[in-house]
Amino acid sequence: MTSTLLPSFPAVDDALFNFAQSDGLSQANQVNIVRNQRLTATVVFLDAGVSDYQSLHAGVIPEVATVILSANQDGIEQISAFLPQNP
């Protein structure tokens, strides 16, 4: 699973920076804390039972993990099995 950086939201950046600054951290540590707060794992689940799911798959950006769900199995069960193994 890959991580992707969320778009910048100035108000959130300011709040995170002010929080880090109030703890007396160095500026370099403050910047790293702000950056790490915005990292998230993104997964796209595609149902193979959807017609032309391949074109949906082709449109997913490379930094995002993609899981193709089998049309012959319960999708919720497949997602539930995937998530604990890929935190």
Residue pLDDT, tens place only, 32-84: 655 555 556 789 999 999 999 999 999 998 888 899 999 999 999 999 999 88
Query: Residue 85 in contact with residue 55, Cβ under 8 Å?
Result: no
> pTM of the entire structure?
0.52
What pLDDT does residue 42 have?
86
Q: Greatest CA separation found in the chain?
A: 55
Asked whether the predicted pLDDT for residue 1 surpasses 70, the reply is no
